[in-house]
Structures are given as structure tokens and as C-alpha cells.
Amino acid sequence: MVNSSVISGFYKLSPEERLAIIKETAGLTDDEVRLLENTGSLPIDVADHMIENFIGVLPEPMGIAVNFQINGKDYLIPMATEEPSVIAAASYAAKMVRDGGGFHTSSTAPVMIGQIQVVKIKDAQTAKKQVLNSKTEILKKANEQDPVLNSFGGGAKDLDARVIDTSMGEMLVVHLFVDCRDAMGANAVNTMAEAVSPMIEELTNGRVYLRIISNLAVKRLAKAWCTVPKEAVGGAAVVEGIAYASAFAAADPYRAATHNKGAMNGIVACVLATGNDHRAIEAGGHAYASLNGVYTTFSKWIKNSEGDLEGSIELPMAVGLIGGAVKTHPIARIAMKILNVKSANEFAEVLAAVGLAQNLGALRALSNEGIQRGHMSLHARNIAVTAGAKNELIDLVAEQMVKERKVRVDRAEEILKELNQRPS
Ligand code: NAD
């Protein structure tokens, strides 16, 4: 077992050499090592170049959410997730929304914010003016860094500066606004922020520390909305229940966290399947939901004058069709092909619709029969597998547990034992 976590030169070794050391120190069996060695459709040399200290892959199920119609176009949504019921709920909700004419969406230009932190300034307001007066030169310097992005019509378009009060005194924070076109843009923006920093130090007579993208991408928003006929959602009482659920979440951060997590179930699963950065999306979404000082929801549902359900969602959506792992991961490339979007904006809008669908799926279940019924039948299959059930026994054990409302490993083991003892 592990005595020390210091493994000198670990990063210089080959994946096989690293795995041999981990086998030894963590006491892995030959079978466990074989599982790690099997990297499936992600070639070892690709994976080893994607991250540091690579030893194996963690396969995650990928499925397709169906029934999505967005701005009149049909989409198949690839989703990678370990959570049962996410894909079923999204597909079911998309079908309800389809009955009301599908999702409608919009988005802003794909503009990200690069932050440059300036400290130790004598007069922050004067420093701010100096920066704003030199806007043209700063933007020119930023744009020299990425001629490829410029050739696609992107690049640094504008800047602003804010003076903030902190526990270590006043700071000037320069915001560089960069149109990232079809890239998520973190590398592009960070490079520009670093390149213009010496200029900003000179202009402000201050000291620049941080130069990094902000994930609170308020200039790169995606919006989706829909109307669901009351008949499609399960009747007037369900519409009312969903509206009450939405009002509850908007007013209460404890509920808002779970409401928003429900929407993220779908968004993150699709972002992950396409090799995009889901942490960036989650950070951005939750920060956006706190922008007014109190954490609230980024989606809402109301009952309209006809008694039907109307929903909308708006959140930052920094995703790309190129860059990061999008083009290097072979499965991400396939997911992108299935999704069939032509621009980062179209992709962002699809993700907003997916979030709204996922949110509706959860709220409909919560306001109706409760979340556990749908969850439990799928969760029960996982429990049955954990208890050792194989093939057709998985469904038999799961069904019995759901019928008894006892979805637990100890009960699964008992049922499995009973079934195995049954004469065939
Ligand atoms: P990237 O640098 O790999 O690709 C972007 C570049 O591709 C552009 O700068 C441009 O030169 C080029 N390009 C080619 N065709 C383009 C087109 N049609 N539109 C736009 N650009 C085009 O990737 P990126 O998108 O700059 O950065 C994404 C990566 O950065 C992700 O892996 C993310 O995880 C990582 N990252 C994120 C953070 C954060 O979110 N805080 C911080 C650091 C790094």
C-alpha cells in the first residue's frame, strides 16, 4: 500500500512504467491493471498527450437524447453521464415541448472577457483613464497574438476597466473583450491578456499579477424558451405545480442550487460528450445566477394566460467547435458529428434548450409523482449490478426491488439468492 506519494520523475515515464509503479504502490491486481490498460477508443498516445501523468481511462456511458426540435430543426443530443434517468428525462421533456412547437433560442456574439489585475497603483481612477485612453494600442497588441482568430472575424474588440475595493486595497481590473468565434477561447484570451500586460503596467505605473479569462461570460449568453400545452405536461395541476416549484427556487438558494443542478445534468452531459470544458460552463452558470448578489435560478417557468406552461433559460455558454479536446478526442469528434451544429453559437443555443428540457423533466416529475419513481427504476438496475446480478437477472432483481420500494444492495442480494435458488 502507499507509503509515500512522492514519485520522482513520474511525469517523464511512459504510461506502462507509471502503471507498473501504481500497481506496486497501490497493490492493484493483474485484472485491475488490465482494465486500466484497455483504453478502448481513446488511443494511448492521444490520451497521454491530453493530460499529465496518464495511467488509464475512465469510460463513461454515452447515450442520445431524442425528440429535440429547436428553431424548427431536429437534433440528436449526445450525452455522456453516469447518472441514470438524465437522458430519459431530457427525451421525455423534449417530446412535451415538441407538442408546443419546440424550443426557440437566441444568443449574443461569442465574446469572452480576459481579466488583467493591476495592484500597487497610486491613483486608481487616473490609471483607469490612462488605460481607456490607450484602448486602440492595447487592442492592436492583443490582436497581433492571434492572426488565425482575426481571419475568422474574431479577436479583441473592446476593453473596459473597473476599480474594485479588496482586503488588500484598491485594484484596477482591466477587461479585454474578445470575440472567440467558434472557439471556447480560454487559451486565445489568456495569451492576449498576458501579451498586453507589460503595456498596462507601463500605463498605470502598477504591478500586474493575474492575467486570465473570466468564466462569468456575461457577454456570451445563450437563451432558450418554449411553451408546453397543459395537456402535454399532464394537466392544469402539473402546470401549477411547476410554476410553484419555479417560484420556490427563484426565492430560495437552497432550492435554486438543485433546480440549476437539474438543468446542468443535461448541459454538462452534452458538453462532456463533445470534449468541451464543463467546469467552465458550470462556474459560469452558477456565477451568473448570483449576479444580483443572491443566488437564484437561471431558468423560470410560469403559467400563461391560456393555462399552458411557459419556460425560459439564460446563461453564459462558452463552448467551441474547435480547440481544447474537441478535435483531439475521437469520440468527441463523433459526438459533434451527431449533434450537427455549424457554429459555436448554434451549439450554445442547443445547450440552452437541453438545459431547459432537463429542468422541465425534473420539475414535472417533482410536481407530479415525485422524482423517485423514475429515478428508482433506473437506479435499481445499478443496485442490482452492484449486488452481482448479470444479464436478465438485472431487470428481474430491479423490478422486484421497485415493486417492494426497497432499492437497497442488501435486498438485491437476497432477491438474487432467491432467484438463483429457483429451479430453472
Ligand atoms: P485553442 O487555443 O486550442 O483553440 C483556439 C484557437 O483556434 C484560436 O485562438 C484560433 O487561433 C484557432 N481557430 C481556428 N479556427 C477557428 C475558428 N473558426 N474560430 C475561432 N478560433 C479558431 O482553444 P481555446 O478555445 O482558446 O481554449 C479552450 C481550452 O482552454 C479548453 O481546453 C479549456 O479547458 C482550457 N482552459 C480553460 C480555462 C478556463 O475556463 N478558466 C483556463 C485555461 C484553459
* pLDDT per residue as tens digits for the range 320-363: 999 989 999 999 999 999 999 999 999 999 999 999 999 999 99
pLDDT higher than 70, residue 1:
no
Active-site annotation holder among 175, 261, 303, 406: 261
pTM of the model: 0.91
pLDDT higher than 80, residue 370:
no
pLDDT higher than 90, residue 222:
yes
Chain segment 372-404, per-residue pLDDT in tens: 666 677 788 889 999 999 999 999 999 999 889
Mutate to test the pocket of ligand 1, among 111, 115, 184, 190 (most ligand atoms within 8 A of CB): 184
Q: Does residue 148's CB lie within 6 angstroms of at least one atom of ligand 1?
A: yes
- Give the confidence band of 221 by pLDDT, cuts at 50, 70, 90: very high
Task: Report pLDDT for 244.
Answer: 97
Q: Does residue 280's CB lie within 6 angstroms of at least one atom of ligand 1?
A: yes
Please give the distance, rounded to the nearest whole angstrom, from the Cα atom of residue 222 to the centre of ligand 1. Answer: 19
Give the span between the Cα atoms of 333 and 313, in whole angstroms. 27
Q: What is the mean pLDDT of residues 50-58?
A: 97
Give the span between the Cα atoms of 204 and 129, in whole angstroms. 9
Q: Does residue 149's CB lie within 6 angstroms of at least one atom of ligand 1?
A: yes
Please give the distance, rounded to the nearest whole angstrom, from the Cα atom of residue 407 to the centre of ligand 1. Answer: 44
Task: Report pLDDT for 316.
Answer: 98
Determine the atom of ligand 1 nearest the C-alpha atom of 325.
Answer: 32
Interior CA angle at 14 toward 13 and 18, to 5°?
70
Please give the distance, rounded to the nearest whole angstrom, from the Cα atom of residue 211 to the centre of ligand 1. Answer: 16
**Residue whose CA is closest, atom 29 of ligand 1?**
324
Indicate if 375 belongs to the active site: yes
Task: Report pLDDT for 98.
Answer: 98
Q: What is the mean pLDDT of residues 140-152?
A: 98
Please give the distance, rounded to the nearest whole angstrom, from the Cα atom of residue 186 to the centre of ligand 1. Answer: 5
**Residue whose CA is closest, atom 31 of ligand 1?**
324
Task: Report pLDDT for 4.
Answer: 85
Neighbours of 250 (CB within 10 A): 15
Q: Does residue 320's CB lie within 6 angstroms of at least one atom of ligand 1?
A: yes
pLDDT higher than 80, residue 151:
yes
**DSSP per residue, 116-141:** EEEES-S-HHHHHHHHHHTHHHHHHH
* Contact present, 341 and 350 (Cβ < 8 Å): yes
Task: Report pLDDT for 3.
Answer: 73
Q: Does residue 155's CB lie within 6 angstroms of at least one atom of ligand 1?
A: no
Q: Which three cell numbers stand for residue 229?
A: 400545452
Q: For the chain, give the mean pLDDT.
A: 95
* Contact present, 301 and 360 (Cβ < 8 Å): yes
Task: Report pLDDT for 2.
Answer: 64
pLDDT higher than 80, residue 16:
yes
136-139: Cβ within 8 A, 24+ apart: 137/199, 138/176, 138/196, 138/199, 138/200
Chain segment 155-175, per-residue pLDDT in tens: 999 999 999 999 999 999 999
Task: Report pLDDT for 377.
Answer: 76
Helix (H) or strand (E) holding 14: none
* Contact present, 266 and 79 (Cβ < 8 Å): yes
Indicate if 277 belongs to the active site: yes
Q: What is the mean pLDDT of residues 178-195?
A: 98
Question: What burial letters (b/e) apply to 272-308, b meaning 16+ CB within 10 Å?
Answer: bbbbbbbebbbbbbbbbbeeeeebbbbbbbebeeeeb
Determine the atom of ligand 1 nearest the C-alpha atom of 148.
Answer: 11
Determine the atom of ligand 1 nearest the C-alpha atom of 344.
Answer: 19
Please give the distance, rounded to the nearest whole angstrom, from the Cα atom of residue 267 to the centre of ligand 1. Answer: 19
Task: Report pLDDT for 324.
Answer: 86
Indicate if 144 belongs to the active site: no
**DSSP per residue, 220-246:** SEEEEEEEE-HHHHT-HHHHHHHHHHH
Task: Report pLDDT for 376.
Answer: 76
pLDDT higher than 80, residue 281:
yes
Task: Report pLDDT for 422.
Answer: 78
Give the span between the Cα atoms of 274 and 324, in whole angstroms. 10
Neighbours of 168 (CB within 10 A): 8
